[in-house]
Amino acid sequence: MKIKHISAAILFTTAIGLSGCTKHFDELNTDPNRVETASPGTLLTPTIYGMSTYFTVRSNGFTWEIMQTGLSNPSAANGVHRYYFTETSGDGTWNTCYRYLRNVREMEAAAIASNSPVYAAVATTLKAYIVGILTDSFGDVPFSEALQAEEGVGQPKFDTQEQIYADMISALEEANALYTEDSNMDGADLLYNNKKDLWRKFNNSLLLRFYLRQSKRINAPEKIKAILDNPTEYPIFTSNDEGAFVEITGLAPYDYAWGRRQDYVNFTAMAEFFVKNLNELNDPRRPFIMTEASELVDGKLVKIGYKGIPAGHSGDLSAYKFNPSTPNGDLMFPESVGTPIKEILMPYSEVEFIKAEVYLELGMLEEAEAAYEAGVKASIEQYGAAVPADYFDNEAAKFDGTLERIMFQKYIGLFMVDYQQWFEYRRTGYPELPTTPYMFHNGVMPSRFMYKNEVRRFNPENYAKAVEQMGADDFHTKVWWEK
């Protein structure tokens, strides 16, 4: 079949365009031995690995701190756990997302050139994953005119987040149909090993995320339930085996996200809020995530269970006479290099928590409870742990018919998943995080990153229009779906 373009919103750009070429330059510098169009499969694994690895590191360095999972230790001043942001806090996110969106654009062009519907669909799925992080981090961003510098668009407009969401949902819907076409994958696929049925489930699970993220703006439960009621047309994740987990061996070229084990383990403490709540749950995920704390007793270090230190502290921790729990290095950099670890694009548990929230909103309490428990079990089993038989007998774990209970377990389930804990907190206000007098902005959590300085300098007119659309360019300007 002939592939049509999935949507008008498949092209992206960074803020700075490329200059034109001199007359006849292309002809004089054409390499007759060079393949002009890449095979779409060759672009897949570099994009998956690059995105998963970058946002694994960012989850640790940013999301842990802002969502009180873990924090730098020692930390005398500033720090994200005190809500300290700068104008450049989002620069790496902006650069990384657009870098890999360029790969996606080339993948799509190659898929069209080679008449490969499945790679066109995969390109859309990856695009949605990346664009979701980008727009949820900044709000309105270049989208429909992006990455068109070669076509003469050096100063792209900023599309509204509302339009971006509409375009991407349309594209995901179209990709869902393309996955059913008679077309196979034959390149290196670090995520699903060329199983297009699993790519389709990832696509539709992302569709659930996109609908739910707009819960303040649209009737998300109705949209999502229509998908849940039609699993034949809309297959989604149904087990951890299908979740979007990227297996990394630590062996070149798929090195672990950290260069050394100590880079992940040292100078980090687990946060009191996170640890205290896991202790109340008597949660079996603790030993996989962190070490036990210790203290000196008669000159010897003695383990004292799992204990963290508070986020947003004064800088003086002299009152805490113990060594706090630290990250378990085996989770991200095992002692034996070559041992596979998992970086997460989207866990199966997230789908179950989405279902739980939707069923709760629709008053379907039995279904909500079943989905809630399935999400908790999926998250625990994701680590290779067993679910204790009496886990849900614990009052702290039992389904209680509240969104707060669902969102707390979803918060745990989104551990190490890029910025998703932050996004979901901004959407729902859960979990309720403690604040301290030492936090910036009077303890009000930032809602977004500021645009890059280069955007302001080299695309001033469209930047000004974006600021007018958004209302302001500061850390507390709420993006469209938050309002």
Count, residues in the chain: 483
Angstrom distance (rounded) from CA 483 to CA 479 = 7
Please give the angle made by the CA atoms of 361, 363 and 366, to the nearest 5 degrees: 115
pLDDT value at residue 151: 83
pLDDT value at residue 213: 98
For residue 103, pLDDT over 50 is answered with yes
Percent of the chain with pLDDT over 90: 89
- Read off the pLDDT of residues 108-132 as tens digits, 9 standing for 90 and up: 999 999 999 999 999 999 999 999 9
> In this structure, are strands 294-297 and 300-303 parallel, antiparallel, or unpaired?
antiparallel
pLDDT value at residue 355: 98
CA atoms within 13 A on the CB side of 272: 14
Partners of 244 in the β-ladder: 346
Mark out the alpha helices in 291-387 (DSSP H runs). Answer: 348-361, 365-382
For residue 3, pLDDT over 90 is answered with no
In contact, 136 and 168? CB cutoff 8 Å: no
pLDDT value at residue 5: 44
pLDDT value at residue 36: 53
Burial of 60-73, coded b for 16+ CB within 10 Å and e otherwise, reads: bebbbbbbbbbbbb
Please compute the mean of the pLDDT values over residues 92-107 and round it to a whole number.
Answer: 97
For residue 14, pLDDT over 50 is answered with no
Q: What pLDDT band is residue 189 in, cutting at 50, 70 and 90?
A: very high
Angstrom distance (rounded) from CA 250 to CA 259 = 9
Angstrom distance (rounded) from CA 280 to CA 397 = 9
Nearest to 418 by CA among 64, 48, 47: 64
What stretches of 6-109 adopt beta strand conformation (E)?
70-72
For residue 23, pLDDT over 60 is answered with no
In contact, 445 and 425? CB cutoff 8 Å: yes
For residue 22, pLDDT over 80 is answered with no
**Torsion from C-alpha of 248, 94, 379, 342, nearest 10 degrees:** 0
183 phi, psi to nearest 5 deg = -150, 135
Burial of 261-277, coded b for 16+ CB within 10 Å and e otherwise, reads: bebbbeebbbbbbbbeb
Nearest to 206 by CA among 239, 241, 235, 180: 235
The model's pTM: 0.92
Please compute the mean of the pLDDT values over residues 297-321 and round it to a whole number.
Answer: 95
For residue 16, pLDDT over 80 is answered with no
For residue 40, pLDDT over 80 is answered with yes
Average predicted confidence (pLDDT) for the chain: 93
What domains does the chain contain, in order, with CATH numbers? 36-258+339-477 (1.25.40.390)
3-class state of residue 303 by DSSP = strand
Angstrom distance (rounded) from CA 88 to CA 405 = 35
From the DSSP assignment, how many helices (H) and strands (E) are in the chain?
17, 8
Structure tokens at 98: 């657009």
* Residues in Cβ contact with 267 at an 8 Å cutoff, skipping those fewer than 6 apart: 72, 73, 74
Cα–chain center distance at 454: 25
**Ramachandran region, residue 417 (left: φ > 0; alpha: ψ -120 to 50; beta: rest):** beta
Please compute the mean of the pLDDT values over residues 324-352 and round it to a whole number.
Answer: 98
pLDDT value at residue 27: 46
Q: What pLDDT band is residue 37 in, cutting at 50, 70 and 90?
A: low
Structure tokens at 103: 């790969």
Q: What pLDDT band is residue 301 in, cutting at 50, 70 and 90?
A: very high
- Read off the pLDDT of residues 256-285 as tens digits, 9 standing for 90 and up: 999 999 999 999 999 999 999 999 999 999
- Read off the pLDDT of residues 222-242 as tens digits, 9 standing for 90 and up: 999 999 999 999 999 999 999
pLDDT value at residue 10: 41
Look up residue 132 and give its amino acid.
G
Q: What pLDDT band is residue 150 in, cutting at 50, 70 and 90?
A: confident
In contact, 375 and 349? CB cutoff 8 Å: yes
* Run of H or E residues at 71: strand 70-72
Angstrom distance (rounded) from CA 26 to CA 34 = 13
